């Protein structure tokens, strides 16, 4: 079976929550193709779905080193590091990502979440403001994100705005 079909089948299995089948498809991919970006992305999705944080962290780190200009590798690495190590480490990873991705809303949003969890509310407000300035859709997400609850507790009932609490 060719790579395109294997990837398509894997995506379908992942969408249906059929993780064993998704893994079987990924393992059946030719070893020479295992190093392809689109294969790595599906392995990350599988590891995320399973909560295999160490495996996700190892793979994301490998790809951060290969393609630091790709924001998704950094976000995945920080997400996994939060679960394998600490929120502080996840925050540190995304601070490094700013060298390549200062204009990416997702990096600022996740930095806001991590800062809020660390009790760094001033930084959290600033990062959230930058994220919303870059992409307005993060405003709505921030209203219910449990990671940003410390900001909402600071000013209960206050409407979120750029550079403001959520």
Domain assignment present for residue 66? The answer is no
Q: 5-8: long-range contacts (C-beta < 8 A, 24 or more apart)?
A: 7/38, 7/39, 7/42
Asked whether residue 132 is domain-assigned, the answer is yes
pLDDT tens per residue across span 94-115: 999 999 999 999 999 999 999 9
Asked, for residue 155, whether it belongs to a domain, the answer is: yes
The average confidence (pLDDT) of the chain is 93
- Amino acid 166: pLDDT: 30
Number of domains the chain contains: 1
| Tens-place pLDDT, residues 10-20 | 999 999 999 99
Paired tokens of 134:
């870059």
CA gap 156, 149 in Å, rounded? 10
CA distance 77 to 64: 8
DSSP, res 163: T
Within-domain flag for 12? no
pLDDT of 161 > 90? The answer is no
Q: 127 lies in a domain?
A: yes
Asked if the structure places residue 17 within a domain, the reply is: no
Does 135 reside within a domain?
yes
Q: How does pLDDT run across 4-51, given as a tens digit for each residue? A: 999 999 999 999 999 999 999 999 999 999 999 999 999 999 999 999
Q: Which residue segment(s) compose the domain that 108 sits in?
A: 103-166
Tokens of 109: 């949003």
Whether residue 143 lies inside any domain: the answer is: yes
């Amino acid at each position: 079976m060719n790579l395109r079909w294997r990837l398509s089948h894997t995506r379908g299995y992942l969408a249906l929550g059929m993780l064993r089948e998704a893994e079987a498809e990924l393992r059946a991919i030719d070893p020479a193709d295992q190093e392809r970006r689109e294969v790595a992305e599906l392995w990350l999705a599988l590891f995320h779905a399973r909560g295999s944080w160490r495996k996700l962290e190892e793979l994301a780190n490998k790809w951060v080193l290969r393609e630091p200009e790709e924001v998704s590798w950094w976000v995945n690495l920080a997400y996994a590091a939060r679960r394998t190590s600490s929120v502080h480490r996840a925050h540190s990873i995304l601070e490094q990502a700013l060298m390549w991705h200062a204009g990416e809303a997702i990096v600022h949003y996740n930095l806001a979440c991590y800062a809020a969890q660390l009790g760094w509310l001033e930084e959290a407000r600033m990062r959230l403001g930058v994220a919303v300035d870059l992409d307005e859709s993060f405003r709505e997400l921030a209203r219910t994100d449990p990671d940003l609850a410390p900001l909402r507790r600071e000013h209960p009932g206050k409407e979120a705005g750029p550079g403001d609490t959520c």
